[in-house]
Amino acid sequence: MWCDRTGRALGLAAACVLALAAPAHATPPDVFGFGPRTSAMGMTGTAYARDYEAVWANPAGLAQARVTGLSLGYVGGQYRLRLDGQDPAAAYRAYGIPDDVAPGAFHAATIGFHLPLPFGGALEDVFVLGAGFYTPRSTVLQTDVFFAEVPQFPVVNRVGAVHVHLALGIDLGRWVPGLRLGFGASALARLSGTLDVFLDEADQFVSLTETQVLSVFNPTVGAQLDLGEDWTLGVVFRDRVAANIDIDIEVTNLPVEIPRITVAALPQYDPHTLAAELAYRPTRCLLLAAHLSYRFWSDYPGVLSRATDFSNQPPRPEFSDTISPRVGVEWSLGAPRFGGALRAGYAYEPTPAPPARSAPALDAEGNVRIDEGSALTTPLRYVDADRHVLSGGGGLHWATELGLDVRVDAFVQAQRWAARRHAIALLDAPDAPNLRSDGWILVGGLALTVEYR
């Protein structure tokens, strides 16, 4: 009964979060995790995830699955970021940008499945296929890229983008006790195109547009090793995910000559990530996980590129690598036919970004521009701050008489976006105090999973 009430309460909480959702602004699993179980446990899971959630957390975990499962879920949330105590929408209005692009509510659907391949003989219980889909509403790739002086949130407000993860788990336990390997790939869409505008013989403008949607595949490799009965070590490496937009604009035969313009941007970026995790089961009911993620943010090239061959380069973001410690706990209870679990976790997500500031202005070659002996600067308002992620959740499972196992899992996360004083004012106004940012990101989600043998 207790589990039932808890589940209902969690479901209601998630539904409330979803009800807030309006325009599609979403973030990828790198910000919130993927799947209600691992998200509730502080975005851990590298050592213990064992179903479709493992395609993100660690594909090696898939190899633990012995039954086929299909999961449907929703993730929703609300950004409550504040710039000088105000909603970012106010700042966007001041910059003449439609305020509906400010980070606000978002929601997305998740789908996952895990499918043990029923080979027999030497290959019995060795291969498990899995897939996970994170799909913002009606969007495959949503991107809003602004001039460098406009406040923007390249870390937490990464664009809405469909994330697809496909993975294969391999259980090598028959040959090396306790060892599982996993290989996966994530797929993202990117956009490339050309726009030719010219005057035809009748002095009428003609535009030719050509667009291509291309796919980007990025590998994930992972391993899990059971260290005795109670301990499991998990390691995973996720390749950098960079989905760019690349549009060339050529205007010809016009009275005014316009150089070829390249709109090149990198709206979707996850750095190389190396994660390691130790999971411990002191009792059958308790699971503890300790996790470290190292993200190679220092490679981040920034959102925008220069517009023409001889235009100035945008300022460099100068991000630095981060280490994110996380812990998670799960307490399972219940009988074989009916049971539940409670989960909690914490993650510290340090920001890779230096404060918003006046950054060195660069020329077309990337050298600092000098005017009358002094270096020129240009505003760069990439706004980010450390995050403290507190998460919780629970799940219920019911083994039906039809031979189906039904699971409902839910999670909530409260991400505190720590207060930060930046090195530049919000707007380019004389004597304005430096920008202060703080806020919350609230996330919730639930998933229904059906498993059968």
Partner 1 sequence: MRALLAALLMLVSASSARASPPDLLGVGPRSTSLGGAVGADVEDASATYYNPAGLARGEALRLSVGIFHLAPELEINGQSSNLERLGGLSLGLVAPKRFRGVNFAFGLSVQLPHQRLARTRSAITDRPRWELYDTRPHRIFLATGAAIRPVPWLTLGAGLAFQAPSTLVLDLRGMLDLGEPNMASRLETQFAGSIGATRYPHAGVQVRPLDELELGLTYRGQVRLDGRVVVQADADVTLGMVDLAQLALFLDSETNTLFGPQQLNLGAAWRPLPWLRVGVDLTWVDWSRHPSPVAAEEIVLTLDPELPIVELPDEIGARDPTPLGLHDTFVPRVGLEARAVDTRALELDVRLGYVYENSPYPAQTGNASFLDADEHTLTLGLGLRLTDLEPVVRGHVAIDAYLLYSELRQRTHVRESLVDDVGDLVTDGRTWGAGIQLSVAFDPPEESE
Partner 2 sequence: MKRVLWLVALAACATLGDETAFPGELSTTGVGPFRSADEAETGQPAGRVLDAGDDAVGRVMVAGEFLFAAVATPLDDPPARDMALEPSALDPAQLGPLRIERAARTAPTFGFAGREVVLEADRAWEGEDLRDPWVMVLPDGRARLYYVGGPGDAPALGVAEAAGPGGAFTKLGDAPILMDVRSPTVVRAPAGAAEPGFRCYFERDGTIVEARSSDGLSFEESPAPLALPPDGAEPAEEAVGQPGALLATTPAGREVLRLYFQSRRADGLRVLALAASLDGEVFERPELPVLELPRADVVAHPAPVLDDAGPAAGITRLHHTVRRREGDLELREARLATTPERLLPAE
For residues 240-299, which are near partner 1 according to CB under 8 A?
245, 247, 249, 254-261, 263, 265, 267
- SS3 category, 56: helix
- SS3 category, 337: coil
Measured from the CB of residue 296, what is the shortest distance to partner 1 in angstroms?
Answer: 26
- SS3 category, 183: strand
Residue 385 binds to partner 1 (criterion: CB under 8 A): no
Q: Across the strands, what pairs with 447?
A: 73, 409
- With vertex at residue 249, the alpha carbon angle to CA 246 and CA 255, rounded to the nearest 5 degrees, is 165
Give the span between the Cα atoms of 193 and 307, in whole angstroms: 15
Residue 401 binds to partner 2 (criterion: CB under 8 A): no
Nearer to partner 1, 401 or 431 (CB): 401
Give the range of 206-214, 231-239, 317-325, 349-357 binding partner 1 by CB under 8 A.
206-214
Residue 413 binds to partner 2 (criterion: CB under 8 A): no
Measured from the CB of residue 185, what is the shortest distance to partner 2 in angstroms?
Answer: 5
Give the alpha-carbon dihedral of 445, 401, 112, 19, to 10 degrees. Answer: -20
Q: Residue 244 is encoded by which pair of tokens?
A: 């760019």
Pair 224, 61: CB distance under 8 Å: yes
- With vertex at residue 27, the alpha carbon angle to CA 26 and CA 32, rounded to the nearest 5 degrees, is 125
Position 94, amino acid: A
Query: 397 vs 33, 37, 339, 451, CA distance in Å?
Result: 22, 13, 5, 10
Nearer to partner 1, 27 or 293 (CB): 27
Measured from the CB of residue 219, what is the shortest distance to partner 2 in angstroms?
Answer: 3
Residue 202 binds to partner 2 (criterion: CB under 8 A): yes
Measured from the CB of residue 30, what is the shortest distance to partner 1 in angstroms?
Answer: 17
Among 311, 332, 377, 434, the residue binding partner 1 under the rule CB under 8 A is 311
Scanning residues 228 to 257, which ones bind partner 2 (CB under 8 A)? 239
Phi, psi of 101 (to 5 degrees): -90, -5
Among 308, 338, 370, 388, the residue binding partner 1 under the rule CB under 8 A is 308
Measured from the CB of residue 279, what is the shortest distance to partner 1 in angstroms?
Answer: 30
Q: Which does 118 bind (CB under 5 to 8 A by kind): partner 1, partner 2, none?
A: partner 1
Write each residue from 206 to 225 as x if it is in contact with partner 2 (CB under 8 A), else as -, in one continuous string. Answer: --x-x------xxxxx----
Give the range of 12-20, 190-198, 275-283, 418-426 binding partner 1 by CB under 8 A.
190-198
